[in-house]
A and B are shown apart, each in its own frame.
Chain A
Amino acid sequence: MIVKQLNISESKLAWDDWLSSNYKLPIIDDDYETIRIDFVKAYAEIRNSIPANSGRIKYLTDIKFGSFIYEYFSDKPWFTLRVAENDAFWRYLSLKVIPDIVGKRWGNSAADHFYFRSNRIWLKTIWWYMYLSWQGDIKQTEAMLDNENCTTDTILNFIERSGRRGVYVDVHRNIIKQYCNIPHDLVLKLDSKLKIKSKNDSFFRCIMRLDTARITVMEPGLFDGGEKAFVKSLLNDLGVK
């Protein structure tokens, strides 16, 4: 299987084709055709499994499809962390293989989520949301993320604000786990306090901000008790015991 890539120049051309062809699916090779068939089927099943009146359709779509693609690629010998880190791989997938699915989730003209903004390429963000939330296996991870405290805003803050130097993977995994364990009514209370000053703020953003500040003086991996204790101390300092 040859891993296909699109550089940004090729991506722009593919994007123009997508728009000008009135959203026609590009021709791809057999290996990628298999991926297309499997992904389209899975996406349809996932959407059907979410009740139409759910207030969390988008978030549930993201974690369920994220879980699917994470598991799908996990046993492919050609898929390594190096591939997952490569925007060109995700752009190819988004623009050539399953642009229709990305379009269903974000709209057919949402260039940012197809290729334009590195941290907003949808397929990439949902894979990385799984990876950075990993709790040992895919079922446990998905179950943990299916939590009232988490929303599409959580994904955005987790992934988009991942810092200039990359993320401490184990810190992220501990942040999401400990955040999910906070009683929902407490999170709502903390959110509403913050929203008085700034309506887009949230307790989760607060945790991420404190983490960003603290790692300038403290190495989480060297903290007494490691990353788990480091995150616990962040939450403690924010008033959550």
Chain B
Amino acid sequence: MANIINAFPVLTKKRITMMGLSTEGFSFSFERDGISYPLVTEDLENNGIYLALKDENGSWNKEKDNISIYNSIKIANKKSLFGENGLACSDAEIGIALQWYSHDSKQRSVVQIDSFTKDSENNTFQLNYSFDKAQFRGDISFLLLLYIKTAGTPKENEDILANTPGTILGFLTEKITISFDGSGSVFPIYEITEEDGPLWKVFCSWTDPTVERFSECVAININNAHENYEKLKTDKQLLVEVMSAALVCIIQKLKDQDAYWANITKGEGLEDGSVGSAVHYFINALEWDPLSPELLSLSIRRFFEKKV
């Protein structure tokens, strides 16, 4: 995503510290027949950002049930957000909202939580929102933001402040992403049956690799009708060769698309689970070297040979 240059002051880490922000963290549940059942989160990448939802009783049904989301937000020093050194006019009203988006569910929206003025008494704000049944699939991201709810009348030195209702003043926390279907963690290898076909082939198709899911756009197909299919199960070297060759194809194809390659090497603007983010991980964390086809092939095979 392009860099945004803001025409007005927005939330920064410093401002967040000054405002004395604390949140309970997001928690989730689902409702059935008027009763609420908790869902627990499982940290998929040990970073508190990418989480799976689980029902410990095993009865949550994604095709039929909904999810609800909760959080409690406290702002100890609301005054710091108003006036010429703040983000909104002294007499404006600031709102807190939940922004959510999901590429896989093709939707995004916002939920109003609460609002406050410079002198309003309440410091603690509750989020408690229920989504529709069977609304989501894939990954959904959640963020808390502040926005201008009601415009004020700018005093002296307040002209630079945002003052249109709906303007986003910034985000209170890092996003968290809920993995609804967990498909992001599956490496896409499939068995096919093709008489007279080769032992394996790779399939890759994407329009925007920075968004589309790796597990949806890429497939390595192993042909169980091939005379050497059984060898793949016993001969680890053969498996290494197949996996490596397939991955060289995929990465080389991506590299040929100049439009996205810079993002992928830098790791910028890549959605979780996307083709780009998977390849970025391969290059960065696993140290596969895309400098040339020979180096790519070598570094991938080195990696896999160490593994087996």
Give the B-binding residues of A (Cβ under 8 A). 7-10, 12-13, 78, 80-83, 85-87, 116-119, 128, 162-170, 216-224, 230
Contacts and interface: CB of A to CB of B under 8 A. Distances in A.
B167 A85 contact: no
Given A164-B210, A224-B166, A85 B105 contact: yes
Given A9-B190, A222-B149, A217 B103 contact: no
Contacts of B107: 166-169
Nearest to B180: A82
A220 B207 contact: no
Contacts of A218: 164, 166-168
Interface stretch (B19-27, B47-55, B212-220, B294-302): B212-220
Interface stretch (B81-89, B129-137, B240-248): B129-137
Nearest to A131: B106
Contacts of A117: 205, 207
Q: Most chain-A CB neighbours within 10 Å: which of B62, B166, B168? A: B166
B293 interface: no
B147 A165 contact: no
B109 interface: yes
A46 B192 CA distance: 38
Nearest to A162: B106
A116 B106 CA distance: 18
12 contacts: A8-B216, A78-B63, A82-B135, A85-B106, A85-B136, A117-B207, A164-B211, A166-B105, A216-B4, A219-B99, A221-B110, A222-B112
Interface in B137-193: 137-138, 141, 145, 147, 149, 164-168, 188, 190, 192
B70 interface: no
Given A9-B190, A80-B133, A224-B164, 12 more contacts: A7-B216, A8-B203, A8-B217, A8-B218, A9-B203, A10-B190, A118-B212, A164-B210, A166-B105, A168-B108, A219-B166, A219-B168
Contact of B203 (A12, A78, A216, A220): A12
Given A9-B188, A119-B207, A222-B147, A81 B134 contact: yes
Nearest to B271: A164
A223 to B, nearest CB: 4
Ordered nearest first, which 3 A-B pairs have the shortest CB separation? A223-B166, A80-B134, A165-B101
Nearest to A115: B205
Interface of B: 1, 4, 6, 62-63, 95, 97, 99, 101-110, 112, 132-138, 141, 145, 147, 149, 164-168, 188, 190, 192, 194, 203, 205, 207-208, 210-212, 216-219, 221, 271
A203 B165 CA distance: 27
Contacts of A169: 107, 109
A167 B108 contact: yes
Q: Most chain-A CB neighbours within 10 Å: which of B108, B168, B190? A: B108
A219 B147 contact: yes
Contacts of A221: 109-110, 112
Nearest to B211: A164
Given A87-B216, A219-B110, A219-B147, A116 B165 contact: no
B192 A222 contact: no
A216 B127 CA distance: 23
Q: Most chain-A CB neighbours within 10 Å: which of B6, B109, B165? A: B109
B102 A165 contact: yes
Contacts of B203: 8-9, 12
Contacts of A87: 216
Q: Most chain-A CB neighbours within 10 Å: which of B106, B109, B132, B192? A: B106
A223 B106 contact: no
Nearest to B64: A80
Nearest to A229: B166
Nearest to B203: A12
B280 to A, nearest CB: 16
Given A9-B188, A167-B106, A222 B97 contact: yes
Contacts of A86: 137
Contacts of B212: 118
A128 B167 CA distance: 29
Contact of B108 (A12, A165, A223): A165
Contacts of B108: 163, 165-168
A227 to B, nearest CB: 10
Contacts of B147: 219, 222
B160 to A, nearest CB: 15
Contacts of B132: 81
Contacts of B194: 13
Contact of A12 (B6, B207, B219): B219
A219 B145 contact: yes
B44 to A, nearest CB: 20
Contact of A8 (B1, B137, B219): B219
Nearest to B147: A222
Given A80-B63, A117-B207, A223 B165 contact: yes
A72 B211 CA distance: 31
